Amino acid sequence: MARTPRRSGSNGGITKPDPYATAAATRKGKSKTTAANNIFKMNTDIGQHILKNPGVAQAIVDKADLKQSDIVLEVGPGTGNLTTRILEKAKRVIAVEQDPRMAAELTKRFQSTPATAKRLELILGDVIKIPELPYFDVCISNTPYQISSPLTFKLLATSPSPRTCILMFQREFAMRLFAKAGDKLYSRLSVNAQMWATVTHVMKVGRNNFNPPPQVESNVVRITPKKPRPQVSYEEWDGLLRVVFVRKNRVLRSGFLGTSSVMEMLEANYRTFCAQNDVILDDGPLDEAAAEGMEIDEAGADGEEWDGIMDMDDEDDLPDFFKEEADRKAKKLQDNPNRKKKGKVAELVRAKVKKVLETDTDLANKRARLCDEGDFLRLLYAFNQEGIHFS
């Protein structure tokens, strides 16, 4: 039997809602929400944890001290919670987003405001793989944890340097930026960050401020590049640190003279230096007497058995040269603990390295984890004076 529509009248003009229509609308709303969640399910494998707390987002932007003329680089904008606030204060935002879904959502967010959209430049891709970043004054990032280290190094190497960087990191990673010589977390990252910039803590951010919540707590730090920039080659400086921090608990004598891959790399670089500077090398083999006198154990003077290049404190910091040679070198050392006899150039480079470590710097018996910035600067200067380079 058909139902007669309810008319307003004695009930004072109030119409009661149809329960069937309400239920249908509720189901429809839920289906839309579920679909949206399926489309924008966060990919935590690439570090997608959206900052959902507006107060924290505003505090991060405020700490950047933005000017109306600033161009801001934002890494990992996600759905634009930080982007919106940055555009309120800056001239332009360059947002680098790897996920096409997030990039589409970010574009959609500003479609209704064409004037604002014109000030947003969206780059779809991996920020680490971009050969050269566009010019920017400030970097702000809710950093995907997986790229924390390479992004930090990329920003430190950027020239001209940005005025400041406000970056969100996993708490332990942030603590590595502040670590001093002798600290457990002291690493190549610590030395590099403090060489090229002043690092200060901004605030702690709990995991519940993100969607989905990460497994760890976060910290926001400010990295302010030093100006004027230290008059040191970044490639040379970082190359030295890559070598000494392969095993930061070994003495430097063992890290250099007791590691055949390091010596082979330095020999190759020395040959390149000589070729570029018209230095003639005697590339003949050593005579038997000299070769016998030069043989030393590959484990190094401290007697520590070396069990392969891959045994290190920061595997992410391992140079590509070492990765390619790792298996071959480890097997070679196991089969033959004595160093293979080398030619005259190899022994010349070995003599130069010994001179730098034992005579010029007196750092041969010091461990990398106990060396400070001044020690590494003395090492680099002495090596370069001998024509030995790390890049």
Q: Evaluate if residue 118 carries a pLDDT over 60.
A: yes
pLDDT given for residue 169 in this prediction? 96
Residue 201 in marked binding region = no
Give pLDDT tens digits for 126-147. Answer: 999 999 999 999 999 999 888 9
Residue 126 in marked binding region = yes
Q: Using 50, 70 and 90 to split pLDDT, how confident is the model at 328?
A: low
Residue 51 in marked binding region = yes
The mean pLDDT value for 331-358 works out to 76
Give pLDDT tens digits for 234-260. Answer: 999 999 999 999 989 999 999 999 999
pLDDT given for residue 288 in this prediction? 59
Cβ atoms of 342 and 282 within 8 Å: the answer is no
Q: Evaluate if residue 39 carries a pLDDT over 90.
A: no
Omega of the bond prior to 77 within 30 degrees of 0, cis? no
Q: Using 50, 70 and 90 to split pLDDT, how confident is the model at 35?
A: very low
The mean pLDDT value for 55-81 works out to 96
pLDDT given for residue 390 in this prediction? 96
Q: Evaluate if residue 174 carries a pLDDT over 60.
A: yes
pLDDT given for residue 43 in this prediction? 59
Cβ atoms of 355 and 349 within 8 Å: the answer is no
pLDDT given for residue 282 in this prediction? 84
DSSP for 247-289, please give it: TTTSBHHHHHHT-HHHHHHHHHHHHHHHHHTT-----PBPPHH
Residue 307 in marked binding region = no
pTM listed for this prediction = 0.74
Greater confidence, 34 or 28? 28
Going by C-alpha positions, the residue among 87, 100, 37 that lies closest to residue 57 is: 87
Q: What fold characterizes domain 47-230?
A: Rossmann fold (3.40.50)
Same fold flag, 47-230 and 235-295+312-386: no
pLDDT given for residue 46 in this prediction? 53
d(CA 77, CA 102): 8
Q: Evaluate if residue 321 carries a pLDDT over 90.
A: no
Lowest-pLDDT range of 208-212, 366-370, 383-387: 208-212
Greater confidence, 158 or 39? 158
Q: Using 50, 70 and 90 to split pLDDT, how confident is the model at 283?
A: confident
Q: What is the mean pLDDT of the chain?
A: 82
Amino acid at site 103: A
pLDDT given for residue 93 in this prediction? 98
| Whole-number Cα distances in Å, 115 to 87, 92, 112, 305, 373 | 11, 11, 9, 65, 48
> Top-level CATH class of 235-295+312-386?
mainly alpha
Where do the structural domains in the chain lie, given as residue ranges? 47-230, 235-295+312-386
Q: Evaluate if residue 322 carries a pLDDT over 50.
A: no
